[in-house]
């Protein structure tokens, strides 16, 4: 049996991730690789650390990618910090809060959760009050919930955690690079971002950053460094007060020694993915963070205008909407998967369904990174209108694209920002 050359269909990817990869990033990946300890490569590693600090708005020494998809970064931080029996506090407002909970429980944490209805987020004071009552070692929460399209404000939570000596760990997988995040100003102790969403880099890396408070916890759990373990070494390690991190692959202390000046061998860095991440970060810094956030807001506005002009209803509390994910309540009587299939088959457009209680109730449209472009917004609006008509939904016809174009025209007048 012979296998053919890759021959993939052309797609317009409007899900909340993975989204279209910037063509420059695709090209960067075809650069020949270097050895992981080649000085030319370690220079690239250092450069990526510097770029990540800028994107995370932090002066943390440690900012590097974990070599795995987003959840590998979440798990690396959690499993390196949490010891069995530790109290962890997790406010849940969608599916990915459950993921944080599950990971913490697997590693033996005593997890305390509060939940609010999906489509909403918490008042920050509620989280702070609960945190003070529970007195956890760690508070972990999601910033942008892709499952509901809601964004939890977090600027006041960090300072409150600092006062109570609680470590704040944030999942910013869906928001980093699309929405403002200020790691130092908001006193976030550790954070993980996703590559396959607003950075427009393929899935396969999980950028993290963390401060000295986290580093101290990790240092206490570090393996005694050695070339080769001996039985004595092992016994010494196993008798340490703080248990060694369960995972070797996701042990942030070991990753730190690999990314740091000691360059202690751990895994073999995923060279081509690092080239991709570097190019993705370079594009963001060239565009400018603030300009990029405005761009995401502007396209979101046009998309929403089009959707509402069609007579469709958005899902979730508008005041806490995540700019990079727009959720549409599925009209009564329509088969949600049939609509998605027709969008894919006839237009090559992918939009997303949702999870758990929201499956079959909402569609989700992502406006992230390179996918967040005017032509994509207009294409998806036109296609959705056509497909809904085919499905017998009584949409207001001919309005969606006009409304979106109006939004773009107004933006052009009001701002110096040229929407790309």
The binding site for substrate comprises: 364
DSSP state of 176: B
User: To the nearest whole angstrom, how small is the minimum distance from the Cβ of residue 392 to a copy of itself?
Assistant: 25
User: To the nearest whole angstrom, how small is the minimum distance from the Cβ of residue 27 to a copy of itself?
Assistant: 6
How far is it, in rounded angstroms, from Cα 129 to Cα 146?
A: 26
Considering the complex, state which of residue 44 and residue 179 has its C-beta at the smaller distance from a copy of itself. 44
User: To the nearest whole angstrom, how small is the minimum distance from the Cβ of residue 162 to a copy of itself?
Assistant: 28
Binding-site residue positions: 364
* 310-313: long-range contacts, CB 8 A cutoff, minimum separation 24: 310/381, 310/384, 310/385, 310/388, 310/395, 310/396, 310/399, 310/400, 311/394, 311/395, 311/396, 311/399, 312/395
Considering the complex, state which of residue 12 and residue 209 has its C-beta at the smaller distance from a copy of itself. 12
CB 383 within 8 A of CB 343: yes
Strands (E), 27-157: 62-66, 87-92, 110-115, 138-142, 144-145, 150-151
User: To the nearest whole angstrom, how small is the minimum distance from the Cβ of residue 30 to a copy of itself?
Assistant: 4
Considering the complex, state which of residue 335 and residue 345 has its C-beta at the smaller distance from a copy of itself. 345
- The distance between the two most distant Cα atoms of the chain, rounded to a whole number of Å, is 76
User: To the nearest whole angstrom, how small is the minimum distance from the Cβ of residue 108 to a copy of itself?
Assistant: 8
Both tokens of residue 255?
């990753």
Considering the complex, state which of residue 137 and residue 197 has its C-beta at the smaller distance from a copy of itself. 197
CB 171 within 8 A of CB 95: no
How far is it, in rounded angstroms, from Cα 14 to Cα 324?
A: 10
Phi, psi values for residue 419, rounded to 5°: -65, 120
Cα–Cα separations (whole angstroms), residue 120 to 99, 244, 267: 18, 38, 40
Which residues share a beta bridge with 140? Answer: 169
User: To the nearest whole angstrom, how small is the minimum distance from the Cβ of residue 231 to a copy of itself?
Assistant: 8
| Residue of 121, 119, 71 lying closest to 91 (CA atoms) | 121
User: To the nearest whole angstrom, how small is the minimum distance from the Cβ of residue 350 to a copy of itself?
Assistant: 5
User: To the nearest whole angstrom, how small is the minimum distance from the Cβ of residue 305 to a copy of itself?
Assistant: 25
How far is it, in rounded angstroms, from Cα 68 to Cα 48?
A: 16
Considering the complex, state which of residue 69 and residue 211 has its C-beta at the smaller distance from a copy of itself. 69
Considering the complex, state which of residue 152 and residue 196 has its C-beta at the smaller distance from a copy of itself. 196
3-state secondary structure of 117: coil
User: To the nearest whole angstrom, how small is the minimum distance from the Cβ of residue 158 to a copy of itself?
Assistant: 25
Considering the complex, state which of residue 31 and residue 402 has its C-beta at the smaller distance from a copy of itself. 31
Which residues share a beta bridge with 176? Answer: 179
Helix axes 70-81, 95-106, angle to 10 degrees: 40
How far is it, in rounded angstroms, from Cα 17 to Cα 7?
A: 21
Which residues share a beta bridge with 46? Answer: none
Considering the complex, state which of residue 158 and residue 369 has its C-beta at the smaller distance from a copy of itself. 369
């Amino acid at each position: 049996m012979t296998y053919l050359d890759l021959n993939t269909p052309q797609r317009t990817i409007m899900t909340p991730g993975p989204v279209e990869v910037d063509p420059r990033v695709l090209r960067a990946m075809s650069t020949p690789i270097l050895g992981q300890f080649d000085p030319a490569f370690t220079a690239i590693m250092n450069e990526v650390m510097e770029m990540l600090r800028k994107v995370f708005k932090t002066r943390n020494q440690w900012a590097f990618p974990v070599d795995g998809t987003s959840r590998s970064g979440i798990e690396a931080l959690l499993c390196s910090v949490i010891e069995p029996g530790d109290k962890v506090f997790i406010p849940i407002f969608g599916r990915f809060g459950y993921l944080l909970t599950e990971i913490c429980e697997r590693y033996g944490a005593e997890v305390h959760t509060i939940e609010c209805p999906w489509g909403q987020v918490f008042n920050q004071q509620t989280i702070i009050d609960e945190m003070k009552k529970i007195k956890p070692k760690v508070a972990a929460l999601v910033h942008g919930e892709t499952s509901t399209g809601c964004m939890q404000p977090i600027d006041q939570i960090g300072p409150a955690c600092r006062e109570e000596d609680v470590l704040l760990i944030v999942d910013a997988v869906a928001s980093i690079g699309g929405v403002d995040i200020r790691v130092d100003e908001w006193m976030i102790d550790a954070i993980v971002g996703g590559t396959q969403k607003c950075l427009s880099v393929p899935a396969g890396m999980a950028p993290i950053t963390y401060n000295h408070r986290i580093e101290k916890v990790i240092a206490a759990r570090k393996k005694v460094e050695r070339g080769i373990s001996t039985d004595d070494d092992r016994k010494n390690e196993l008798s340490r007060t703080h248990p060694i991190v369960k995972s070797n692959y996701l042990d942030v202390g070991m990753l730190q020694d690999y990314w740091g000046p000691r360059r202690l061998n751990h895994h073999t860095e995923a060279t081509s993915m690092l080239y991709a991440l570097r190019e993705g970060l370079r594009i963001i810094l060239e565009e400018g963070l603030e300009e990029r956030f405005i761009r995401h807001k502007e396209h979101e506005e046009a998309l929403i205008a089009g959707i509402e002009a069609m007579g469709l209803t958005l899902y979730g509390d508008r005041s806490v909407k995540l700019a990079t994910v727009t959720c549409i309540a599925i009209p009564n009587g329509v088969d949600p998967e049939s609509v998605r299939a027709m969008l894919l088959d006839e237009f090559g457009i992918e939009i997303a369904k949702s999870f758990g209680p929201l499956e079959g109730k909402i569609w989700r449209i992502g406006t992230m990174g390179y996918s967040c472009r005017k032509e994509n917004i207009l294409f998806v609006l036109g296609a959705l209108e056509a497909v809904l008509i085919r499905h017998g939904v009584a949409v207001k016809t001919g309005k969606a694209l006009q409304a979106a174009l109006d939004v773009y025209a107004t933006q052009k007048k009001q701002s110096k920002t040229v929407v790309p």
